[in-house]
Structure 1
Amino acid sequence: MVTAPFVVAPAIDFAAVRSEFGLDDGYPADALAEARACTDRFGGDREDRTDLALVTIDPPDSMDLDQALHLERTAGGFVLHYAIADVYAVVEPGGALEAETHRRGQTFYLPDGSVPLHPRELSEGTASLLPEAIRPVVLWRIEMDERAEPVAVTVRRALIRSVARLDYAGVQRDTEAGTLHPSIAALPEFGRLRAVAALGRGAIELRLPEQDVTPLEDGWTLTVQPRTDADDWNSQVSLLTGMCAAQLMLDAKVGLLRTLPPADEDAVAALRRTATALGVPWPDDVQVGAFLAGLDANTPSTLVLMSEAPTLLRGASYATFDGELPGSSLHGAIGAPYAHVTAPLRRLSDRYTTEVCLAVSAGAAIPSHVRNTLPVLPKIMSSTDSLSGKVGRACIDLTEAVVLSSRVGQEFDATVIKEATDRRDAEVFVAAETVIAPCAGKPPEGERVTVRLTGADPAARKVHFTYEFARA
């Protein structure tokens, strides 16, 4: 039986994926010139906060650093300073660069490199919050009580200097060793309190195996990226800021929210039926988010339930409003109103929502250019979100097919995560190869089985297995 990971041969043509989806690294000459010559339009109107020992937490190879944080434990709770790259200050309204970023919408990530929203000279250089570089930012200050619930929020322009560039794995190691950087020593306590608050709001977090294409010295391999506690704690910083931003905009009755309907009742009922069939206890008084959070990640039944759980959260959209509140402001997965404001180097909408928050916090008028741009953003963001998902899936599908193309006919251990229906085959997860693929033969859902690889076509980006017999 095959159990060891197989390294992909180096010849994977991700350029074909770029071409198929119209992704281009190149920028129009006038947009590139603007990026190279950009200056801070608000340079004379910033508070000097280079005294704050802010740090960044990002994947080790990231250069487009949007955020830097400093989290302090106080006698009454916490104070978070969260610095966000001030992209609006360096992209000229009405200019060629703004037009090009509207065309792109967001940064697209592929295994062999990104296709950035902004030219790298800006996103990985002059606007990136690189260590020891003084940068213009939008600085959030969020005061919290003992439960890490926000009690006061201010947003203003500032100059900062990041003092350290950290990554998730390193933060996790430092936590376990008791050597966390002083600027984030309170992060574990904050993160745990915010996670408790999320369950109280009815938040729903899905924990499916997150496939990733990882480069090696001699090729590529598929992996499941481990999610550490540090990932979750840092995520809570961004989520808190996005919730505070949404509330500022709702109070002012102008802005752009990321929305998602509440979990569909029929989908919850179907998930309960699956849990019952798998013998997984689910007390009637436990909300779906708390139920999913309490599952053992290492069992086949959890894989099945998590693979079905995305049906709970459908209908993600954007709601822009001006003068009247939107019909729905809820983000069902978060359990509260939410807005994107923390990744302006990588996501177009954040540039404009941040300007709304700055104006509301200062009691100032929202720039007319920003106000006029808000209505066009939902279409741009929805279409590029969809495109990003397709690009990511295409890269994984291609890699799966290349990984397995020479192994047709071999047998693999697999977990059945979706049963077959009249309209589709079952779906299996082959952990040794980090592959999720269709499987003929009606294997039993939730079981560990032996499957045979019956197809792997790199040109079509398709892999297929067949279930022939139960595992001994």
Structure 2
Amino acid sequence: MTRRSPRAGAAAAAAASGLAALRAEVGVPEGHDPAVLAEAEEAASRPIEDGLERADRRDLPLVTLDPAGSKDLDQAFHLAVDGSGFVVHYAIADVASFVTPGGALDAETHRRGVTYYGPDGRFGLHPPVLSEGAASLLPEVDRRAVLWRIRLDGDGVIRDVDVERAIVRSRAQLDYVGVQAALDAGTADEMLTLLPRVGALRAELQVQRGGASLDVPDQEVETHDERYRLVYRAALPVEEDNAQLSLLTGIVAARLQREAGIGLWRTLQAAREEDVARLRRVALGLGLDWPAGTSYGAFARTIDSRIPEHAAFATEATTLFRGAGYVAFGTPEHPDVPVGAAHSAIAAEYAHVTAPLRRLVDRYGTEVALAQVAGRPVPEWVVAALEALPVEMASATQRAGAYERGGLDLLEALIMAPRVGRTYDAVVVESTRSKEDDGEARATVLLTSPAVRARVVGPRDRLRAGSRVRVTVTATDVERRSVTLELADAG
């Protein structure tokens, strides 16, 4: 889970110079070099029949489901009842078919690692001619894809999987708000009504395995009477259902990589007991009832991010799981399949394969799965790159996180500037003793409205994790991206 950057509109325009400085500071790449653009243009212009063996699956009525206005469409799906169970078809953009190993575009994607998202836009892993054009699964056009077919039993348990290169044609570009409204009104297409059913089954299995899934709300900037305010955007149920299709595909991809004895898994350390205890205190401070015998995963399913206190809890819960990374295996340096390398939130071995337009590792993991199912060796260009990918992705995700957090800090400072002197209700989400051990603590507090997370210093007995406090905004500094708070008088 990650804290997402806000959509900022005019607020981001007012902070344009600060955001540009932030990108330079953290090393976010912006434009692409001419050689990269030229290679991408050439790749985009190639005929769809690229010489690779592909199934023609244009008969399959796939649809995409993303935020409204998205252009970089990695995935399309189709669901059907299969006897007493279900069959999931999941088409993923075949990015590898556009990237020549060792070429300028390949080198640039390794330098970038990911697509970078900020308040003023996105800075893509690939040039737009590919990510928003020839490689994107846009509606009513033929596209190259890697098509997964996953059969589930009536409880959502995986029965078997197949994966192949294909030519597909998405029938519609759907968005979360529209699909949720249709589901709620009972007017959704019959195929779409299977999405909540499959999503719920997979989410329940995740909890049973000891995992947890939590919709983290967006922090957004709204305008009102020519002023700005930070709010939480409630996640829709259909977003979690859609995410479960991606998690399902990542789990079966990891299984195929295990069978092949080579691959790259996404890993996440288990939550520490002291962090779970701290989060319980945060829940208490927010007025949420987390029964003593209920696991985090089960409690997380009760969170409704449309409620401000729940949204604040979900945002803070992103700190529960630390140590995300990647582990490569089947290489000369690390030949053996790793032991204990699961993703703790998913509670399963897991590989990234579903977002190749936005994440470098996905096209490598996909090639391993294709090779394993076809019974052929993994391509040498994949094997040669695996060992370096965990370090490359760690660097890229660190940059992306710094940019997202810095952009949020910048807009918090910008939006709170007119509110200096005002006092707000807050809950303490983290507290540490001061170095001087003078009875004071340095704490992080969360305001539910406006949606701000900031630091405050004060007496330890008032700044215990989970405590409710009143804080006053005493200063903001847009250039330093900071908001300064002080504890208001008790009572």
- Structure 1 length-normalised TM: 0.90
Report the secondary structure of 2:97's partner residue: coil
Aligned to 1:418: 430
1:457 aligns with 2:469: no
Paired residue secondary structure (2:87): strand
Check whether the contact 1:417–1:427 (CA below 8 A) recurs between aligned residues: yes
Letter in 2 for 1:16: A
Alignment correspondent of 2:88: 80
Q: Closer, same or farther in 2 for the Cα pair 1:56/1:259, shift >3 Å?
A: same
Measure, in 1, the Cα distance between the counterparts of 2:290 and 2:98: 54
2:97 to 89, 94, 103: 89
C-alpha RMSD of the superposition: 2.8
**8 Å CA contact retained: 2:223, 2:229:** yes
**Contact 1:452–1:465, Cα closer than 8 Å, also in 2:** yes
Cα distance, 1:70–1:32 mapped onto 2, change above 3 Å: same
Query: Is 1:258–1:340's contact at 8 Å kept on the other side of the alignment?
Result: yes
Q: Deviations over 1:17-72 (max 9, x none)?
A: 22222323321222111100103574452111111111001111211100000011
Spell out, residue by residue over 1:291-348, the C-alpha distance to the aligned partner (whole angstroms, 9 max, x if none). Answer: 3434576889867865764554222111100042113321001000000000000000
- 1:31 is matched with 36
Q: Which runs of 5+ in 2 are unaligned?
A: 1-7, 436-440
Residue 359 of structure 2 corresponds to which residue in structure 1?
347
Query: Are 1:193 and 2:193 matched, yes or no?
Result: no
Query: Do the aligned residues in 1 keep the contact of 2:231 with 2:449 (CA within 8 Å)?
Result: no
Aligned length: 466
Q: Indicate conservation of the 8 Å contact 2:11/2:221, yes or no.
A: no
Give the equivalent residue in structure 1 for 2:291: 282
Tell me, in whole angstroms, the C-alpha distance in 1 between the residues paired with 2:268 and 2:323: 6
Q: Distance in 1 between matches of 2:388 and 2:115?
A: 18
CA 211–297 in structure 1, closer or farther in 2 if over 3 Å, else same? closer
SS in 2 for 1:231: helix
Cα distance between partner residues in 2 of 1:193 and 1:272: 27
- State the SS of the aligned residue for 2:488: strand
Asked whether the 8 Å contact 2:230–2:449 carries over to 1, the reply is no
State the Cα deviation string for residues 149-193 of structure 1 (Å, max 9, x = none). 110100000001111111111111111011223442200111111
Q: 3-state DSSP class of the match of 1:391? A: helix
Change beyond 3 A, Cα 1:429–1:111: same
Tell me, in whole angstroms, the C-alpha distance in 2 between the residues paired with 1:47 and 1:229: 33
- Alignment pair present for 1:402 and 2:410: no
Task: Report the equivalent of 1:441.
Answer: 458
Q: Deviations over 1:371-412 (max 9, x none)?
A: 111111111111111111110001100001011113211222
Compared CA separation, residues 118 and 310, structure 1 to 2 (3 A): closer
Pairwise mapping of residues 372-411 of structure 1 onto structure 2 (< 5 A)? 372-411=384-423
Structure 1 residue aligned with 2:232: 224
Distance in 2 between residues matched to 1:37 and 1:17, nearest whole Å: 33
Q: Please state whether the residue corresponding to 2:240 is helix, strand or coil.
A: helix
In 2, Cα distance between equivalents of 1:237 and 1:310:
21
Unpaired runs of 5+ in structure 1?
Answer: none
CA contact (8 A) 1:412 1:450 kept: yes
Q: CA–CA distance in 2 between the matches of 1:440 and 1:249?
A: 49
> Is the partner of 1:62 in helix, strand or coil?
coil
Aligned to 1:467: 487
CA distance in 1, matches of 2:200, 2:468: 34
- Where 1:432 maps in the other structure, the secondary structure is coil
Question: Which residue does 1:236 correspond to in 2?
Answer: 244
